[in-house]
Amino acid sequence: MTSTVGQVIRCRAAVAWEAGKPLVMEEVEVAPPQANEVRVKILFTSLCHTDVYFWEAKGQNPLFPRIYGHEAGGIVESVGEGVTDLKPGDHVLPVFTGECKECAHCKSEESNMCDLLRINTDRGVMLNDGKSRFSINGKPIYHFVGTSTFSEYTVIHVGCLAKINPLAPLDKVCVLSCGISTGLGATLNVAKPAKGSTVAVFGLGAVGLAAAEGARIAGASRIIGVDLNSNRFEEAKKFGATEFVNPKDYNKPVQEVIAEMTNGGVDRSVECTGNIDAMISAFECVHDGWGVAVLVGVPHKDAVFKTHPMNLLNERTLKGTFFGNYKPRSDLPSVVEKYMSKELEVEKFITHTVPFSEINKAFEYMLRGEGLRCIIRMEE
């Protein structure tokens, strides 16, 4: 690896040239890392719904050409000036948000919303100099959420890399760098259900199933899955779900259905859809006196949350979370250890695998709603 240090690396990357069009395999030039940056050889990456959302240009300002990808596992190739806690050969998970370790958020035990490195979907360049590290024939190709893992090599701010156990299989734990940790942490770190408690999970995609997995690990006695697609219910049993509710099957609000099922409401709920009605239902279905609802899904920018203030005055708690309240550098290594000790199962989230040259198949699976996570192998 050392022969490439300080040199421009030419490698393959899947480039999105325009919104909604298949990615194109290109040879890109990847510049060496600058101060506080790390160049990483990506070995495995997976497709998350966020990549698809911005590729379709449904997110903020569309920015093309761009290299998407943010759920991944790789090995450090070289480090820039000032990087002391990573060295070539280290195994890392890139994360779409970061931990500078110096701002008020990073110093707070309660927050993981780093001032410097929290997610910014509009920025397509590096913080150090406002430039891209990717180019084709001298033309810059933009970054995505500071990671851009749909490339054999990428350059990432040191604060957005979690150093993990080198014995952990990167083709499995790569899915912990975004969605799975988001759902898992929403339950374990924020909802914090007690052993024997009841938990409702709204939305049974990958994040919701990870929230259910968190409830299973916590020892919840009843885990109620709520989804408009009843086909998801069988799969959800593998993640600990014990009962299911499809709101379409009832002619009254789903929060009333859940309250009747649970003698007044669940102890905890976790909302993983981003649908505003589901958010309101998730809050209103928790028990008065002690119920806690946690919002994970990202709503439409014009959405408004409405509930009667008595729902709060009756001692229900509403919380929000970002990346499951995990600080990437400090906390992700321990999530990987949960997998290594067999406390957390990640294999069941992985439903497809494709070689890098067939990355567009991963998009097809997700657009058709097939499977949970598709692993993309960079080396074919």
Catalytic residue annotation:
48-50, 70-71, 100, 103, 106, 114, 118, 178, 373
Strand duo 317-320 + 292-295: pairing? parallel
How far is CA 92 from each of CA 107, 336, 339, rounded to the nearest angstrom? 22, 11, 15
The residues facing 225 across adjacent strands are 201, 244
Q: In b/e form, how buried is each residue of 42-51, taking b as 16+ CB within 10 angstroms?
A: bbbbbbbebb
Q: Which of 39, 259, 239, 66 is nearest to 144 (CA)?
A: 66
Q: How far is 260 from 247, CA to CA, in rounded Å?
A: 14
Q: What are phi and psi of 293, to 5 degrees?
A: -110, 135
Count of beta carbons in the 10 Å neighbourhood of residue 365 = 18
Q: Which of 259, 250, 285 is nearest to 270 (CA)?
A: 285
Token pair, residue 312, equals 């709060």
Angle at the Cα of 22 from the Cα atoms of 19 and 23, rounded to 5 degrees: 90
The residues facing 373 across adjacent strands are 350
Q: How far is 125 from 373, CA to CA, in rounded Å?
A: 27
Q: Identify the three-state secondary structure at position 220.
A: coil
Q: How far is 320 from 294, CA to CA, in rounded Å?
A: 5
Token pair, residue 83, equals 């990087």
H/E run at residue 236: helix 232-236
Q: How far does CA 85 lie from the centroid of its chain?
A: 24
Token pair, residue 154, equals 């990428």
